[in-house]
Amino acid sequence: MKGFIFKIRWKQFEIRELFNLTSSKKSIDANKVKIFDQQVPNSYPYIVRKSGDNGTRGYIIEDQKFLNPAKSLSFAYVTYFVFYQKTKYYTGQNFKILTWKKGIISEKALLFIAGCVQKSISIFTWCDQNTTKFIRKILSFPVWWRKFTF
């Protein structure tokens, strides 16, 4: 284990190399749906463009065909907030969904990546809706023998 740290290298990646970037399945207007403070049967998290609580405003009941996938990152491209979403969820307006391209990835790894992405995009201004800048953003991650180490 002594020499392990020396075998780890940091490699640069564009976000689009690692993730599929798609629009949210449906932008749900908060004024047109009942929002519950606590999860109730058949409800799922409602993610909006806010900085706290993992972006969760509450829970809603909506057609399940509009659920975004679990184990993905929600990216509010107007306010530039990125959060890891453990479960399926609905979103408000102006969201992109990032799903991992490269096979199986752990929750810890996605949390790490979400933090790295959030830090790297903090330079963007509010309401700068240029997602091209976002997907071309270059991040560095630790790799060992061409595999991620997180």
**Domain ranges across the chain:** 4-148
**pLDDT value at 68 more than 80:** yes
Read off the pLDDT of each residue in 17-21 and give the average, rounded to a whole number: 93
Q: What is the pLDDT of residues 114-147, one digit of tens each?
A: 999 898 888 777 666 666 667 677 888 888 766 7
For the chain, the straight-line distance linking the first and the last C-alpha, in angstroms and rounded, comes to 16
pTM of whole model > 0.85? yes
How confident is the model at residue 114, as a pLDDT? 95
CATH number for the domain running over 4-148: 3.90.220.20
- β-pairing verdict for 147-148 and 72-76: unpaired
For 64-85, letters b (16+ CB in 10 Å) and e give eeebbeebbbbbbbeebbbbbb
Residue 128 corresponds to which tokens in the numbers above? Answer: 């700068």
Read off the pLDDT of each residue in 34-53 and give the average, rounded to a whole number: 96
